[in-house]
């Protein structure tokens, strides 16, 4: 037996091999696997965040004229008639084709082609107003706001302003087009919602 250790065998046992091509290949493979895993993990997350935030970044489109009814369907007796506003509606991600989005009172005077449009939404709290037959006026069932058939307030009234008028026009085919807008309720000035 030898008392002195063999230097060659001790050196082989304690020393690590110099990094060679095998060690570098294993590092590159691990780095590529890590990058692929990160892409596979973050891609659905990024797509989800994009989808969630996309409708919030879109600007609401400006109000457009919506075809409501033909001019011949509105009697020229000066009494307002209620007509639905039907249009495609987009609620963030979901589209609703040809859905009622509001209502409008249309009226015209004797023989006149001019049409007056009043929103059927009460400017006080946003309830739908109806025509009260006995008193020939508009009445809001929520808080008893009253308006003349031309849309003016009847005092006393909790409503801060008259009924909201809407722009309307008649196209060459005799269709009545109304520029549908929702307005803020409870304030004295008519401010359109975005």
| Amino acid 15: pLDDT | 57
- What does the pLDDT average to over 18-24? 65
Sequence-distant contacts of 110-113: CB under 8 A, at least 24 apart: 110/76, 110/77, 110/78, 111/76, 112/76, 113/71, 113/170
Q: Where are the domains of the chain?
A: 7-57, 65-179
| Amino acid 109: pLDDT | 83
Instruction: Give pLDDT tens digits for 98-156.
Output: 888 889 999 988 877 889 999 999 999 889 999 887 778 899 988 888 999 888 999 88
pLDDT surpassing 60 at residue 11: no
Q: Work out the burial of residue 4: count CB atoms within 10 Å of its CB; fewer than 13 is exposed, 13-18 middle, 19 or more buried.
A: exposed
| Amino acid 136: pLDDT | 84
Q: In the chain, pLDDT over 90 holds for what percent of residues? A: 26
Instruction: Give pLDDT tens digits for 54-77.
Output: 665 555 555 688 999 988 888 888
pLDDT surpassing 60 at residue 84: yes
CATH code for residues 65-179: 2.102.10.10
| Amino acid 53: pLDDT | 72
| Amino acid 82: pLDDT | 92
Residue 132 CB neighbours (<10 A): 12
pLDDT surpassing 60 at residue 43: yes
Cβ neighbours of residue 18 closer than 8 Å, sequence gap 6 or more: none
| Amino acid 132: pLDDT | 85
Instruction: Give pLDDT tens digits for 160-184.
Output: 999 999 999 999 998 999 998 889 9
pLDDT surpassing 90 at residue 46: no
């Amino acid at each position: 037996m030898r008392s002195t250790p063999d230097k060659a065998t001790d050196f082989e046992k304690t020393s690590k091999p110099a990094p060679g091509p095998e060690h570098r290949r294993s590092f590159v493979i691990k780095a590529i696997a890590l990058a692929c895993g990160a892409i596979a993990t973050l891609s659905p997350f990024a797509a989800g965040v994009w989808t969630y935030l996309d409708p919030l970044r879109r600007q609401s489109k400006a109000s457009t004229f919506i075809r409501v009814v033909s001019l011949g369907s509105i009697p020229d007796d000066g009494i307002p008639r209620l007509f639905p506003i039907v249009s495609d509606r987009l609620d963030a991600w979901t589209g609703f084709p040809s859905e009622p989005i509001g209502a409008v009172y249309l009226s015209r005077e004797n023989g006149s082609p001019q049409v007056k449009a009043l929103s059927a939404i009460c400017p006080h709290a946003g309830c739908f107003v109806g025509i009260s037959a006995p008193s020939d006026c508009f009445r809001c069932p929520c808080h008893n706001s009253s308006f003349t058939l031309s849309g003016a307030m009847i005092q006393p009234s909790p409503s801060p302003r008259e009924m909201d008028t809407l722009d309307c026009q008649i196209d060459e085919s005799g269709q009545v087009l109304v520029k549908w807008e929702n307005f803020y309720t409870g304030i004295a000035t008519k401010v359109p919602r975005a």
